[in-house]
């Protein structure tokens, strides 16, 4: 099961008897391993070892452990290294403590110049909880010495038993000592662990942990009641236009750090090679340089800002990214440099948003809502002194008054998911971008009275779209829609206002701190894309849609409408 997960890049959820659930991102070969937290070892691995020991009729905590160390060579990508003079190896050293079944209870990674005794002491100190019931520690001749035995006695209250070889220069299987050697041989079956390919030792620790999780999961029989493995994310490929994209099936919630990065990184790996190939064929670029941050990492930081709740991106980057998220990256640029790198992510954000809207429209039931809102870029008193958007933004008027900036036009379905988006200048009429927004949609489009137009209605009807709007107060014949269901859905048009409320108040769509047009566009697209991944969207429940009070009100309006229609029929010769 685990090997299949590694090959296909699938995320699995492990459910234990107690109801606790832990997620393993089983995926090698990318920077995702830098995001795997140490809590995966402290919680999930400990429970897995306890389950398999209980299944075999043993206690969860072992009372006897075997320790050993293994020196591994470094590759050119690894930073931390030391020289083991005994093994003549330049790299790192892996220290493990296993029980009589070969199950790991403690793991520690150090440089190769650290002695076996010093590494074991560090391992015991960091894994006291897992080794709380250990009474005896078995080791080879490299751990001899009274000082080491005293230190182990202080840390674990356990005794050290050193097994020495009887004959030099001859191989003899020592009692119980071969178990830890077998555990090391299991690690060598993982191609990535033949050498230390990781830049950080913490990442090397996570790779060893995942390798042992592989061993533990294999020991469970198929259909075991103790452990339930469920695939929670499945990636399927589909081709849209000329780019290869990836469809992600989720439960609609905003993902955590690892899940969000996996989705963005996979999308970039599918999209960027084809895009760069097109640019090279058109001779617009000759080579591609690798920067300090990859495009997926830039997009990941930008989208996390939308979920963080911070109002100022500079404060978020200086106090959140540079402090808490620094361990996830090889090197982080300054805030000024990052703002220069943000335009590089615009194409990926646009493509990701377009694909999410494509999925939402494809799953639509034929009912959508359309509306627009203002995006002011400065206060009205500072219109003449604004230099960033001079000649780009325009003065417009909405129901809330005059403003200087742009308009955001969106369409959404009954689930609150966006199916289209367009940004225009502030003086553009709301009806202008309607045709482009509903491209590929067939059904009923509900709007307010700002979209009233016979020409637009006829144009949309030719495309298979029925435009249903409210009427103005000064219209002579205030005719209602012909169907009762349309009247009900028109009254539910407040869903799109709820979407605007989330975009402005929760995701900070409008603010006046933009210092460049490119980053303004990146920010707007990131807000819209972040909303697509948002958890709690407003939605319309079609079941039991009409309540008794609405039925009485609609019956009265329908009677008035029928009377007016009959009166007009009699008056017309």
377 and 281 share one domain = no
300 and 442 share one domain = no
117 in any annotated domain? yes
Question: Domain limits at 194?
Answer: 36-166+175-222
556 in any annotated domain? no
What SS3 class is residue 573? coil
CA distances from 556 to 14, 482, 548, 550, 562 (A): 56, 15, 13, 10, 10
* DSSP H or E run through 402: strand 401-413
Residue-wise burial string across 424-435, b where 16 or more C-beta atoms lie within 10 A, e elsewhere? bebebebbebbe
Q: Which among 349, 335, 380 has a CA at the least distance from the CA of 515?
A: 335
Bridge partners for 374 per DSSP: 407
First-residue to last-residue Cα distance in the chain: 78
Residue 482: other Cβ atoms inside 10 A = 10
Kindly state the DSSP code that residue 103 receives in the 8-state scheme: -
Q: Are 273 and 312 in contact (CB under 8 A)?
A: no
Confidence of residue 480 (pLDDT cuts 50, 70, 90): low
Checking if the pLDDT of 132 tops 60, the result is yes
Least reliable range by pLDDT among 167-176, 187-196, 412-421, 511-520: 167-176
191 and 295 share one domain = no
423 in any annotated domain? yes
Owner of token pair 């409408």:
561
Least reliable range by pLDDT among 276-290, 334-348, 388-402: 276-290
Q: What would the two tokens of residue 324 be?
A: 């808490």
**Domain's final residue, options 345, 376, 395:** 345
Q: Are 344 and 298 in contact (CB under 8 A)?
A: yes
From the centroid of its chain, how far is CA 538?
Answer: 21
Q: What's the mean pLDDT when you consider all of the chain? A: 77
What SS3 class is residue 141? helix
Confidence of residue 440 (pLDDT cuts 50, 70, 90): confident
573 in any annotated domain? no
Number of domains in the chain: 4
Checking if the pLDDT of 481 tops 80, the result is no
Kindly state the DSSP code that residue 552 receives in the 8-state scheme: H
From the centroid of its chain, how far is CA 478?
Answer: 49
Least reliable range by pLDDT among 86-100, 372-386, 525-539: 525-539
**CA 378/CA 390 separation, integer angstroms:** 11
Checking if the pLDDT of 493 tops 80, the result is yes
The secondary structure of 10-32 as a DSSP string is -EEEEE-TTS-EEEEE---SSGG
Confidence of residue 76 (pLDDT cuts 50, 70, 90): confident
Q: Are 409 and 431 in contact (CB under 8 A)?
A: no
* DSSP H or E run through 108: strand 104-111
pLDDT at 423: 92
What SS3 class is residue 433? coil
For 338-356, the pLDDT digits (tens) are 999 898 888 889 988 888 8
**CA 93/CA 82 separation, integer angstroms:** 9
204 and 183 share one domain = yes
Q: Are 405 and 427 in contact (CB under 8 A)?
A: no
**Domain's final residue, options 288, 317, 345:** 345
Q: Which is more confident, 287 or 195?
A: 195
Confidence of residue 22 (pLDDT cuts 50, 70, 90): very low
Kindly state the DSSP code that residue 479 receives in the 8-state scheme: P
Checking if the pLDDT of 193 tops 80, the result is yes
555 in any annotated domain? no
Least reliable range by pLDDT among 12-16, 73-77, 412-416: 12-16
251 in any annotated domain? no
For 6-21, the pLDDT digits (tens) are 323 334 444 444 444 4
Q: Indicate the Cα dihedral angle 146, 148, 153, 159, nearest 10°.
A: -70
pLDDT at 92: 93
Checking if the pLDDT of 327 tops 90, the result is no
Average pLDDT, stretch 552-561?
A: 50
Q: Are 412 and 419 in contact (CB under 8 A)?
A: yes
CATH number at residue 54: 3.30.420.10
**CA 196/CA 522 separation, integer angstroms:** 38
Average pLDDT, stretch 136-158?
A: 90
Average pLDDT, stretch 558-565?
A: 48
140 and 272 share one domain = no
For 224-280, the pLDDT digits (tens) are 444 443 333 333 223 333 222 333 333 334 456 777 888 888 888 888 888 888 887
481 in any annotated domain? yes
8 and 59 share one domain = no
218 and 160 share one domain = yes
Residue-wise burial string across 269-288, b where 16 or more C-beta atoms lie within 10 A, e elsewhere? ebbbeeeeeeeeeeeeeeee
| 340 Cβ contact list (under 8 Å, min separation 6) | none
249 in any annotated domain? no
**Domain's final residue, options 345, 380, 409:** 345
277 and 306 share one domain = yes
**CA 201/CA 95 separation, integer angstroms:** 12
| 57 Cβ contact list (under 8 Å, min separation 6) | none
Please report the sign of the dihedral spanned by the C-alpha atoms of residue 433, residue 434, residue 436, residue 437: positive
From the centroid of its chain, how far is CA 263?
Answer: 6
Checking if the pLDDT of 406 tops 60, the result is yes
Residue-wise burial string across 548-572, b where 16 or more C-beta atoms lie within 10 A, e elsewhere? eeeeeebeeeeeebeeeeeeeeeee
The secondary structure of 296-340 as a DSSP string is HHHHHHHHHHHHH--S-HHHHIIIIITTTSGGGSS----HHHHHH
Average pLDDT, stretch 53-64?
A: 86
133 and 279 share one domain = no
Bridge partners for 196 per DSSP: 74
409 and 501 share one domain = yes
280 and 401 share one domain = no
Return the percent helix, strand and coil in the chain, to nearest 5.
45, 20, 35
20 and 88 share one domain = no
What SS3 class is residue 554? helix
Q: Which is more confident, 82 or 229?
A: 82
**Mutual orientation of helices 346-362 and 295-308 as an angle, nearest 10°?**
70
Checking if the pLDDT of 380 tops 50, the result is yes
């Amino acid at each position: 099961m685990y090997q299949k997960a590694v090959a296909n890049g699938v995320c699995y959820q492990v459910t234990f008897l107690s109801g606790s659930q832990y997620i393993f991102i089983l995926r090698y070969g990318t920077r995702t391993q830098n995001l795997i937290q140490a809590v995966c070892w402290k919680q999930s691995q400990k429970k897995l070892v306890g389950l398999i020991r209980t299944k075999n009729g043993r206690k969860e905590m072992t009372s006897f452990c075997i320790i050993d160390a293994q020196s591994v060579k470094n590759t050119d990508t690894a930073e931390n290294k030391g020289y083991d003079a005994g093994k003549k190896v330049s790299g790192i050293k892996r220290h493990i403590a296993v029980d009589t079944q070969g199950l790991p209870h403690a793991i520690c990674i150090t440089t190769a110049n650290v002695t076996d005794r010093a590494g074991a002491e560090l391992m015991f100190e960091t894994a006291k909880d897992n080794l709380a019931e250990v009474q005896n520690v078995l080791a080879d001749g490299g751990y001899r010495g009274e000082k080491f035995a005293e230190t182990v006695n202080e840390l674990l209250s356990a005794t050290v038993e050193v097994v020495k070889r009887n004959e030099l220069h001859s191989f003899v299987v020592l009692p119980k000592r071969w178990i830890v050697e077998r555990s090391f041989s299991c690690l060598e079956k993982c191609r990535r662990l033949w050498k230390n390919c990781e830049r950080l030792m913490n990442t090397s620790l996570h790779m060893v942990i995942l390798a042992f999780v592989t061993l533990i999961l294999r020991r469970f029989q198929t259909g075991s009641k103790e452990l339930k493995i469920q695939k929670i994310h499945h990636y399927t490929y589909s081709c849209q236009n000329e780019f290869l994209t990836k469809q992600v099936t989720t439960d609609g919630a905003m993902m955590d750090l690892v899940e969000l990065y996996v989705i963005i990184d996979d999308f970039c790996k599918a999209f960027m090679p084809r895009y760069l190939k097109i640019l090279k064929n058109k001779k617009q670029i000759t080579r591609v340089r690798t920067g300090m941050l990859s495009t997926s990492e830039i997009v990941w930081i930008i989208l996390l800002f939308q979920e963080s709740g911070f109002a100022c991106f500079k404060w978020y980057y200086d106090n959140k990214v540079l402090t808490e998220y620094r361990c996830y990256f090889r090197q982080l640029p300054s805030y000024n440099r990052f703002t220069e790198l943000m335009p590089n992510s615009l194409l990926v954000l646009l493509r990701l948003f377009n694909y999410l809207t494509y999925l939402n429209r494809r799953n639509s039931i034929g009912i959508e809502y359309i509306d627009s809102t203002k995006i002011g870029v400065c206060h009205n008193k500072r219109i003449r002194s604004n230099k960033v958007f001079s000649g780009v933004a325009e003065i417009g008027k909405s129901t809330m008054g005059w403003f200087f900036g742009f308009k955001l036009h969106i369409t959404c379905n009954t689930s609150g998911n966006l199916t289209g988006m367009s940004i225009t200048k502030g003086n553009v009429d709301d009806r202008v971008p309607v045709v482009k927004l509903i491209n590929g949609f067939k059904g009923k489009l509900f709007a307010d009275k700002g979209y009233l137009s016979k020409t637009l209605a006829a144009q949309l009807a030719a495309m298979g779209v029925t435009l249903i709007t409210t009427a103005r107060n000064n219209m002579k014949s205030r005719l209602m829609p012909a169907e009762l269901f349309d009247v009900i859905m028109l009254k539910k048009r407040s869903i799109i206002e709820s979407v605007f409320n989330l975009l402005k108040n929760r995701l900070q769509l409008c603010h006046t701190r933009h210092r460049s047009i490119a980053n303004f566009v990146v920010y707007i697209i990131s807000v819209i894309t972040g909303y697509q991944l948002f958890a709690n969207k407003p939605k319309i429940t079609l079941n039991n849609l009409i309540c008794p009070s609405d039925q009485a009100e609609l019956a009265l309006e329908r009677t008035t409408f029928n009377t007016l229609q009959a009166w007009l029929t009699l008056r017309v010769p």
